Structure formats: C-alpha cells, structure tokens
Amino acid sequence: MGRDRANALWHLAEEAKADLRDLCVHIPEARYTAGLVHGTMTAKEAAHDAAEVDLLVREYGYTDARMCDTDEMRALVKSPRYHSGLLDMGAGQIHPLRYALGLARMAEAAGARIYERSEVHQITKGDPAIVATHKARIKARHVILAGNGYLPNLERKVAARVMPLNSFISATEPLGARAADVMGQDIAVNDSQFVVNYFRLSEDGRLLFGGRPSYRMGFPQDIATVMRERIAAVFPQLKGVKIDYAWGGTLGVTIPRLPAVERVAPNIVSAGGYSGHGVALSGLAGKVMAEAVAGQAGRFDTLADINVPPFPGGTAFRAPLLALAMTWYSMRDRLGV
C-alpha cells in the first residue's frame, strides 16, 4: 500500500480502539479490560510474531506489544499447546452484549429511533431511496448498509465481497479455584491456527471458549460436545468439563480479511467484512460513514481504497469455497504446516 496509506489505515485502527475505550467509560458494565495474547504454536510462528513486534515499533512507534517466551506464556496461559506468545496491552476484551445495549441506550438518548425486527427486503435506488420492509416503505435521503454478516442479499456488489461465516462459543460451568489452573492473568487469548481458538475467563470464573467447529454455513446440532473437545485439546486439565451454555453468531469475512467499505450509490454507503475485528472496526466504520453522509468523505475514501475483490463466482460459490478452504486449512493446522 505504501507507507503513507499504511500509516493512515494504522491511525484509523488505533482511533477505533480509542473510541471503544472512551465509550466504555460511559458503559462501565461492558468491563473493558486491557490485554490480549496471541499464542504461537511453533518457533517459526514465534519468529514471525517477533518480527511483527519489531515492525510495529519501527514503523508506527507502537510499544504496547512484546513477545513472551515459553515460560512466561505458560504462566499466562496454562496450556502445553503454545510455544510462546505476543502480548498486546493496547488490545483488550469487553462484554459485547452489554456494550451493544449500552450503545443502543446512548443512541436513543441522542435522538435515534431503533426499530427491531424490521427486516429490509428491498432498496430502490434514487433520491430519495425507497427502503421496504414487510410493513412499511421508508423514503430516505441516505442509506447506510451496516448488517455485516447478517445483511440480506440486498446489494449484489456488497454480497459478492462479504461472506457470512458462523463462529461458535461455549461457557463452562464456573471453575472456582480451578480457574487459576487455566489462566494466570485476566487477559483474552487467540492463537495462530487458521481455524482459530479464542478464549478468556468470565467475571464469574467460567472459561469462555470460541472457535469454528463446523465448516458448513449452518449451525451444528451439538455445539457443546464439539467445543468441549476443542477445550480439552488446549487445556487437558479441563477434559470432561461441564458446558453450561453454547451458542453461535454470524460475522462477515472478506478475501484479504480487511473491511469492505464502498459507496454503492451516490446516497448509499456500505461497510462490513471486519473478519473477526468488528467490535472496534464497526464503530469506526459507522463514524466515517456518518462523515461521508455529512459531506466529509476523506476518511471514508481511505477505507474504500482498500482492494477487496469479490469471491470467485459471487454469492453462488461462497459456501462451497468456504467448506473447501476450511477443510484444507484445518488439515494444515492438524499437521502443523
């Protein structure tokens, strides 16, 4: 991208994190907590992450990230699975439902009106645009498409670039004193597998453990059993642990794993495809789309200039390509390639 564009995108991403932290001052129940460690499986992956830490310091002056050797990593995350880790204290964790409800509360206090369960099934372009639900037709001077993985196929160009992908998470029974045998610090964790594991402890001492146990677009019938197996693979000391809750949700991914931001029509803008980083980036996207609606499109254009190609075959082949890719990379994970 070149140094100037890379720096512009870096500062936007840092602004997204800062905005989230600032909002959590007004939504304390979301419990923003600093600290994220990226667990590496091999010495080769550790060398890659160490080079990343050096690049962050050299190019961006970012000093919140550092490498943890094997001993420190296993003191933080008490699993034999990880060779080492990249600890980033400029990243963190929140309670996402409380955060979403807090944002809704603040939006309504500012005058926004929220209509739940009013699914849009058609948009007719024009000035004004016509937005149709099953019970209403709304004339809109501006339309913002912000459904990410949940967005219906309302706009072909958006659907071709953003693929819905389901991810799943489980909550164990409260671990009590056993929690200290799992985590040595209240941080969030993800790892270097392509079919990623991510986990943290909840405030009541449960292990929240997420990942992708299914390569299909739908939801598996027994999420808990599959997630229990994944937990045991990372934490053998929790083999057979009781799962109290298991559920799933849909995110949006793109081919380069960068967000797809575009102007669909002169008065219709869209953003999505955050590829697992949407908690912060979706808030930033909302801000720059609002700026674009207000006539200040410079930062919107910075994001829109990212090259996000459509999936081969468009929407028709997204699901089979996903199944093929996930199977391939899952095999690579198992073989340690």
136 φ, ψ to 5°? Answer: -155, 160
**Alpha-carbon distance 14 to 162, whole Å?**
23
Is the N-terminal amide bond of 256 cis, ω within 30° of 0? no
pTM over 0.75: yes
Nearest CA to 150 out of 165, 135, 140, 169 is that of 165
Specify the pLDDT at position 93: 96
Nearest CA to 92 out of 27, 40, 7, 24 is that of 24
251 burial type by CB count under 10 A (0-12 exposed, 13-18 middle, 19+ buried): buried
Tokens linked to 265: 């029509």
Specify the pLDDT at position 72: 97
Residues linked to residue 268 through DSSP beta bridges, in sequence order? 143, 265
92 alpha-carbon distance from chain centroid: 13
Tokens linked to 141: 């001077």
Residues linked to residue 77 through DSSP beta bridges, in sequence order? 183
Residues linked to residue 145 through DSSP beta bridges, in sequence order? 270
Contact, 254 vs 273, CB < 8 A?
Answer: yes
Q: What is the mean pLDDT of each run of 10 residues along the chain (337 residues)?
A: 93 97 97 97 95 97 97 96 96 96 97 94 96 95 95 90 91 96 96 88 96 63 87 95 94 93 96 94 97 96 95 69 62 59
Q: Which residue has the tokens 């693979």?
A: 233
- The dihedral through the CA atoms of 187, 100, 29, 249 has a sign that is negative
User: Would you list the DSSP string of 159-208?
Assistant: HHH-EEEEEEEEEEPP-GGGGGGTBSSS-EEEES-SS--EEEE-TTSPEE
Length of the chain as a residue count: 337
**Alpha-carbon distance 258 to 274, whole Å?**
6
Q: How many CA atoms lie within 13 A of 103 on its CB side?
A: 15
**Alpha-carbon distance 21 to 62, whole Å?**
17
Tokens linked to 182: 């799992």
Specify the pLDDT at position 314: 67
